């Protein structure tokens, strides 16, 4: 198995210059006369404001310093180059936690949670709650290499298990994810869970539902209402998913030609999927946060292969479990109430797909939980880690 090699982010200046030249040259077109907010998708006034800041206030080199604060590595596994952040904290190898992002996010989603999770005694916590953190970029995303063809979360889970066990030599580990991270993490639990003390994924934590049971028919009024609401949400918000799942290359050709278009495609989702109950998009995230996440796609030419992931998911068969099968790895779920689109299923539904041992109703936060509410995410991870160890000690 190849050895992981240290990696430092240092984007060539000519790449940055080319991106910024296209941002500056973007040819604005008239917005609908009755446009209000994000009614037609990305808000024209908000995107123009972000473009102005991008050109006059944003500094990628400062973002690079932030991204290089924690050690990064690259390794080739089964022909796929994987980038990952690896922080050995106060746990010193004792409690490895694999964190997986989704689309349109990146490893940057977890940035504000890294120090509190790895070094809790420096951040108002107890040293015994510390984790070693492993935060990989999905294949085709961020600083990971581009796959030759679309791959999905099941294949990603196999890469992650090899990374954890064979490359990093963690015999067993915990895993957490939301969005595509929830699907990769669910597949870790299903296909790479600890069996007969032989190592693997000991327990998983999700903040978005991954698998669905078969048959996927409601068995209560509550489940019926949830399924109906999900169908309504997909009718309103699911066009992006169908495009990326069925015709990703058409979209990729447009997005690869336009940094502003890529930013609009990504930032509109941050607006639509976040908990904005206490303010708008720019009250929830700074422009630097939004643009750093966007730039991680742009400096790596990763937007095309990121949308391939949806097609890879379809090729793998989607998220339906075989009838009578569920993920038996102990599963925890955090219900962030500001999730506007991918509302969690009722517990009864999830219990048919997972060995659900923990459910936490969070006070705030949405789809991008670790980025929106890092304090709550950290506390939930600490509490979940303690509960896993207590359960294992009692069994």
- Which token pair is 218? 């409601």
Q: What residue spans of 179-302 are helical by DSSP H?
A: 180-191, 221-237, 239-246, 248-255, 259-273, 281-284, 287-298
Between CA 159 and CA 4 the distance in angstroms is 14
| Residue 98 near residue 174, CB atoms below 8 Å | yes
Nearest Cα to Cα of residue 2 among 70, 73, 99: 73
Q: What residue spans of 82-174 are helical by DSSP H?
A: 111-118, 153-162
Between CA 65 and CA 62 the distance in angstroms is 5
Q: Residue 302: which residues within 8 A CB-CB, separation 6 or more?
A: 140, 141, 142, 146, 296
Active site residues: 179, 310, 367
For 183, which DSSP code? H
Radius of gyration for the chain, computed over Cα atoms and rounded to the nearest angstrom: 20
Strand ranges for the chain from DSSP E? 5-7, 72-77, 80-87, 96-100, 132-136, 172-177, 200-206, 327-335, 354-361
Q: Residue 285: which residues within 8 A CB-CB, separation 6 or more?
A: 270, 274, 371, 372
Between CA 172 and CA 181 the distance in angstroms is 19
């Amino acid at each position: 198995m190849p050895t992981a090699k240290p990696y430092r982010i240092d984007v060539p200046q000519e790449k940055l210059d080319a991106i910024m030249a296209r941002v500056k040259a973007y040819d604005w077109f008239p917005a609908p006369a009755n446009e209000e907010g994000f009614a037609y998708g990305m808000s024209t006034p908000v995107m123009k404001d972000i473009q102005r800041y991008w050109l006059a206030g944003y500094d990628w080199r400062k973002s690079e310093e932030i991204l290089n604060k924690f050690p990064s590595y690259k390794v080739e596994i089964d022909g796929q180059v994987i980038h990952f952040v690896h922080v050995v904290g106060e746990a010193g190898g004792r409690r490895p936690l694999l964190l997986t992002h989704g689309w349109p996010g990146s490893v940057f989603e977890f940035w504000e949670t890294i120090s509190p999770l790895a070094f809790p005694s420096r951040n108002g916590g107890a040293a015994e709650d510390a984790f070693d953190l492993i935060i990989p970029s999905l294949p085709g995303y961020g600083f990971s290499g581009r796959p030759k063809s679309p791959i999905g979360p099941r294949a990603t889970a196999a890469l992650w298990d090899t990374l954890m066990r064979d490359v990093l030599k963690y015999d067993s580990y915990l895993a957490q994810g939301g969005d595509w991270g929830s699907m990769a993490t669910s597949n870790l639990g299903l296909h790479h869970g600890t069996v007969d003390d032989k190592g693997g994924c000991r327990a998983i934590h999700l903040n978005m539902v991954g698998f669905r049971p078969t048959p996927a028919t409601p068995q209560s009024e509550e489940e019926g209402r949830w399924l109906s609401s999900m169908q309504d949400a997909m009718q309103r918000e699911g066009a992006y998913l169908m495009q990326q799942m069925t015709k990703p290359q058409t979209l990729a050709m447009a997005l690869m030609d336009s940094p502003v278009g890529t930013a609009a495609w990504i930032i509109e989702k941050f607006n639509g999927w976040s908990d904005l109950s206490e303010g708008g998009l720019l009250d929830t995230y700074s422009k630097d946060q939004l643009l750093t996440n966007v730039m991680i796609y742009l400096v790596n030419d990763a937007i095309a292969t990121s949308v391939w992931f949806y097609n890879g998911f379809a090729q793998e068969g989607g998220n339906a479990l075989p009838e009578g099968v569920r993920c038996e790895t102990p599963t925890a779920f955090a219900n962030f109430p500001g999730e506007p689109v991918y509302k969690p299923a009722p517990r009864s539904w999830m219990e048919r797909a997972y060995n659900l041992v923990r459910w936490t109703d969070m006070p705030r936060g949405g789809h991008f939980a670790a980025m929106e509410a890092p304090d709550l995410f950290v506390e939930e991870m600490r509490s979940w880690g303690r509960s896993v160890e207590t359960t294992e000690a009692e069994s």
